[in-house]
Chain A
Amino acid sequence: MAQKEYAGVMVDVNDEGYLENANQWTKEVAAAIAKENNLELTDKHYHVLDFLRERVAKGEALTIRSVGKSGVVDIKGFYELFPGAPLKLATKIAGVKKPLSCV
């Protein structure tokens, strides 16, 4: 398994740079991953990241719609916080698995 250093911590990552182990995540690690993706995290970002981490810890699937309906942020806002491909980017920074497809 590949390892990468973020904010002075070694974390396990997969081929696409997603954390393999959610327990290795810290706020500082998140900030470092965000920086790599040209993002500066604000409280709003962390609010969304906490929500994603909670959801995944409960074993629930993530979709942009479920984020949009959560009351944490609406879909437009989600795109503004994590531009381009928000779910892909936000899950990476949240240190959880990338939402999957079958093929």
Chain B
Amino acid sequence: MKKVVILGAGTAGTIMANKLAKMLDRKEWEIEVLDRNNIHYYQPGFLFIPFGIYSPKDVVKKKDAFIPRNVKFTVADILSIDAEENVVNLVGGEAIRYDILIVATGTVPTPSETPGLVGERWYKNIFDFYTFEGAVALHDYLKDFRGGKLVMTITELPYKCPIAPLEFVFLADAFFAKKGIRDKVEIIYTTPMSGAFTKPVATKMLSSVLEEKNITVVTDFYVEGVDEEKNIIRSYDGREVEFDGLVVVPVNLGEEFLASSGLVDDMNYVQVDKGTMQSVHKPNVFAIGDAANLPTSKAGSVAHFAADVLAENIVEYANGKAPSHQFDGHANCFIETGHGKGTLIDFDYTNEPLPGMYPLPGIGPMKLLGVTRLNHWGKLAFKLIYWEFLLKNRRLPVSSKFSLAGKKKV
């Protein structure tokens, strides 16, 4: 028997396991998925926990419930990849041989990369919401927040779900308004980019949302470190932003164990062809989801669309052919804007987010770059779609390929 090994049973690894279980010739191919634990977090739900919209139990299920029966699921900590020998080494000393390897180990929020972030104040008045623990701790903090400066800061690019910190400040605005203390809270958003939005059309449409909500944006702010004593974040060019509460998107890095594999860039992302997702170093290695160095958003939607392409390529490779299917970088994200409304963006490697209707051209019902109630319901419905359709590879009425149909060139 030949063997496909999938590293990681998060969004991307689980979808791939479900696809390949059906598509590969199972008399010839065995599939094994490895993950360090059996807890599947619905990460988009982490955004809602701080505001009490979701409770912790809304975002947790068991991983193995989503792995097909004829795929082996092993809970194990991966130690290293020996890409020369086609072997994955586990922490206990066991080695697993593969013919085809799919790396889907995601990206890791790494607050320790920023001096002063993880110390006395971590989870006291400094938080992330990119981890389950962070989101829950932040909920306790916000519950009792009486006013002051709440700063949302992005430390480094790329990070997963690029839109999440913006949604966070939009939801914070609504949260404090509801509590009747919005006038006592100053909300500040710092970004290393030259704007909260940078693509021209989205910037035009969405900047007014920030203004309307009275959220201060500090641009080109690259955090050098946090002064915990003074409650200040400082940028490399010497600017300072004071905070009472700090919410941070930590530096995101690929898994540490990949560093020694010879397959990654200097942020530990697997270097792949952006079309085929095949490693540029080893033909029998592929990467998908946040673990890959694809030049598009690190998002579940990307993993979902990319999986259609990668599954075809794996089947081709398994049959001795060169992978020929091309991923276009298709991504889409609902953006919560608060007060029961949301917006939606859809784009790929070459096309920026444009207004229009989605997924059916002209009909929608979702409105791209428009702020509507239905988009908010779309986002909330997504949890069910994620668990019931996406992970299990059931058909959804959306195409993995980006399309300009139904979109307006502005």
- Cβ–Cβ contact A75 & B224, under 8 A: yes
Give the segment of A24-32, A36-44, A60-68 that binds chain B: A60-68
- Cβ–Cβ contact A88 & B331, under 8 A: no
- Cβ–Cβ contact A103 & B197, under 8 A: yes
Give the A-B contact count at a CB cut-off of 8 A. 67
- Cβ–Cβ contact B266 & A69, under 8 A: yes
Q: How many residues of A contact B (CB 8 A)?
A: 23
- Cβ–Cβ contact B162 & A88, under 8 A: no
- Cβ–Cβ contact A61 & B194, under 8 A: no
User: Considering the chains assembled together, what is the distance between the CA atoms of A73 and B274 in angstroms?
Assistant: 29
User: Considering the chains assembled together, what is the distance between the CA atoms of A47 and B158 in angstroms?
Assistant: 25
- Cβ–Cβ contact B236 & A65, under 8 A: no
- Cβ–Cβ contact B236 & A76, under 8 A: yes
User: Considering the chains assembled together, what is the distance between the CA atoms of A100 and B194 in angstroms?
Assistant: 10
- Cβ–Cβ contact A63 & B156, under 8 A: yes
User: Considering the chains assembled together, what is the distance between the CA atoms of A42 and B384 in angstroms?
Assistant: 57
State the majority secondary structure of interface residues on A: loop
B403 interface hit (Cβ, 8 Å)? no
- Cβ–Cβ contact B193 & A101, under 8 A: yes
Q: Which one of B192, B224, B236, B297 lies within 8 Å of A102 (CB-CB)? A: B297
Q: Given known contacts A61-B293, A102-B331, is B220 in contact with A84 (CB within 8 Å)?
A: yes
B267 interface hit (Cβ, 8 Å)? yes
The chain A residue sitting closest to B331, CB to CB, is: A102
- Cβ–Cβ contact A63 & B267, under 8 A: yes
A51 interface hit (Cβ, 8 Å)? no
The chain A residue sitting closest to B298, CB to CB, is: A102
Q: Which one of B198, B220, B274 lies within 8 Å of A103 (CB-CB)? A: B198
User: Considering the chains assembled together, what is the distance between the CA atoms of A64 and B237 in angstroms?
Assistant: 13
Tell me which residues from 189 to 227 in chain B have a Cβ below 8 Å from any Cβ of chain A. Answer: 192-194, 197-200, 202-203, 206, 220, 222, 224
A17 CB to nearest chain B CB (Å):
13
- Cβ–Cβ contact B265 & A60, under 8 A: yes
B157 interface hit (Cβ, 8 Å)? yes
- Can you name 17 A-B residue pairings with CB atoms under 8 Å? A59-B274, A60-B271, A63-B157, A64-B236, A65-B267, A66-B265, A75-B236, A79-B236, A85-B220, A100-B198, A100-B295, A101-B193, A102-B297, A102-B345, A102-B347, A102-B353, A103-B162
- B residues in contact (CB < 8 Å) with A: 156-158, 162-163, 192-194, 197-200, 202-203, 206, 220, 222, 224, 236-237, 251, 265-267, 271, 274, 293, 295-297, 331, 345, 347, 353
Among all A-B residue pairs, the 4 with the closest Cβ atoms: A85-B220, A103-B202, A102-B297, A79-B236
